[in-house]
């Protein structure tokens, strides 16, 4: 399969909008303007990040398509207990994708699932201890509204974008025009009630988040950028963030850079390149600081990075046949649930604020595992679960 063929078949939610005009805008309010907002409170008053005791359940096996860090976290019983994973995606269209996820370390049988079923399964396997009920799987074309639990850590996976003509992009500053589930997610992110992980897109390394492609733009992603630009707070003295909006954009590396099967096609184990299909971070520094990458192991050979794609699924004996930043996002979603599990207050069982989990993942990202690292391409770098689980200040 050629790269252009992959891009033509890449997943992007096709949303049909009736363009209406309105003077009303759901504008984010910055912490500087109103520091009493809930979102401006980074966590517990005492800042306690002592981890709770591990759950009584047993460990789960590391799966081949996961980074080895996930298996190590599971071995320590950090599995996402106390977290809730909501997935907004395609569950009802009837369109399916062929793929396979390993079970117990062995390649699973090929199966056909909807896009949402695959992303849900990935997130639930990365963080098997998290709450994940059927009512937390929401079709993106429905009028269903996700709910949030103040006593648990909420993370929502968004493996799609919503495209509209760039000339109409400003209309969607009124979030109601994006539809009920999307308006609810944006409000939750702006209020620090939930962490949102959105796939960066599959437009290739020449396209950055926020770019116009063929006259269209991801108007959903643009609203996350607006929230970041308004809500992020940097201490002018130290240059460090005192608040980061709970948003992460998920890009894809071609493979996990941890020496797992398939890593040695070029004789190296220590670095991986960004996947050829992955939209990059771009020159917007605010976006760069909220952009992470993880390996997406669809399957490859020395000459074909997309060896298992589409009708070729199963052609080589490695990988899941699932390619795209859509399948990077639920991995990071699972990481967030695991990190929240560890840093839940041991006595009160109060979960960490979504903003703190986002910042922990972003600040602990590593760049030494990325080929030819550049902030404009790779943002903060590779999401490092073992680094994020280290005690604060010890990464």
Q: Which of 210, 198, 237 is nearest to 358 (CA)?
A: 198
| Greater model confidence, 288 or 101 | 288
Which structural domains are found in the chain, ordered by start?
A: 3-17+27-389 (3.40.50.200)
Number of H helices, E strands in the chain: 10, 13
Span 145-172, mean pLDDT? 96
Rounded to whole angstroms, how far apart are CA atoms 238 and 240?
5
Task: State phi, psi for 46 to the nearest 5 degrees.
Answer: -90, 0
Span 57-72, mean pLDDT? 71
Instruction: Report helix, strand or coil for 338.
Output: helix
This prediction's pTM: 0.84
Per cent of the chain over pLDDT 70 is 78
Length of the chain: 395
Beta strands in the chain (DSSP E): 83-89, 96-99, 111-114, 137-139, 153-158, 163-165, 195-199, 216-218, 233-234, 241-243, 247-253, 291-295, 381-382
Number of alpha carbons in the 13 Å side-chain half-sphere of residue 322: 33
CB 88 within 8 A of CB 280: no
CB 12 within 8 A of CB 201: yes
Rounded to whole angstroms, how far apart are CA atoms 294 and 66?
10
Residues in CB range of 261: below 8 A, 6 or more apart: 64, 318
Span 231-248, mean pLDDT? 94
pLDDT band for 30, please (50, 70, 90 cuts): very low
């Amino acid at each position: 399969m050629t790269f252009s063929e992959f891009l033509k078949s890449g997943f992007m939610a096709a949303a049909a909008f009736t363009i209406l005009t309105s003077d009303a805008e759901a504008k984010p309010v910055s912490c500087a303007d109103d520091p009493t907002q809930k979102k401006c409170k980074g966590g517990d008053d005492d800042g306690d990040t002592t981890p709770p005791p591990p759950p009584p359940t047993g460990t789960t096996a590391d799966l081949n398509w996961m980074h080895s860090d996930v298996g190590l976290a599971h071995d320590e019983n950090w599995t996402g207990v106390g977290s809730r994973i909501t997935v907004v995606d395609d569950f009802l269209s009837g369109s399916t994708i062929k793929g396979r996820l390993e079970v117990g370390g062995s390649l699973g049988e090929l199966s056909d699932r909807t896009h949402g079923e695959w992303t849900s399964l990935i997130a639930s396997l990365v963080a098997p201890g998290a709450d994940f009920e059927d009512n937390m799987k929401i079709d993106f074309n429905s009028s269903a509204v996700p709910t949030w639990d103040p006593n648990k850590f909420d993370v929502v996976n968004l493996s799609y974008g919503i495209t509209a003509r760039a000339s109409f992009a400003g209309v969607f500053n009124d979030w109601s025009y994006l539809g009920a589930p999307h308006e609810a997610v944006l409000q939750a992110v702006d209020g620090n009630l939930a962490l949102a992980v959105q796939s960066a897109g599959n437009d290739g390394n020449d396209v950055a988040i926020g770019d116009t492609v063929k006259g269209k733009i991801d108007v959903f992603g643009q609203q996350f950028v607006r929230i970041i630009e308004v809500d992020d707070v940097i201490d002018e003295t130290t240059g460090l963030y005192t608040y980061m909006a709970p948003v992460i954009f998920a890009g894809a590396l071609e493979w996990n850079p941890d020496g797992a099967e398939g890593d040695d096609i070029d004789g190296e184990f220590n670095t991986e390149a960004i996947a050829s299909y992955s939209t990059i971070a771009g020159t917007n520094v605010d976006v760069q600081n909220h952009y992470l990458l993880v390996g997406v192991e669809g399957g490859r050979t020395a000459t074909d990075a997309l060896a298992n794609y589409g009708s070729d699924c199963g052609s080589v004996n490695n990988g899941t046949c699932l390619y795209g930043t859509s399948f990077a996002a639920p991995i990071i979603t699972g990481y967030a649930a695991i990190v929240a599990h560890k840093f839940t207050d041991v006595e009160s069982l109060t979960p960490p604020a979504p903003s703190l989990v986002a910042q922990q993942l972003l600040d602990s990202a590593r760049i030494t595992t990325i080929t030819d690292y550049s902030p404009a391409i790779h943002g903060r770098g590779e999401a490092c679960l073992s680094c994020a689980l280290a005690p604060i200040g010890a990464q």
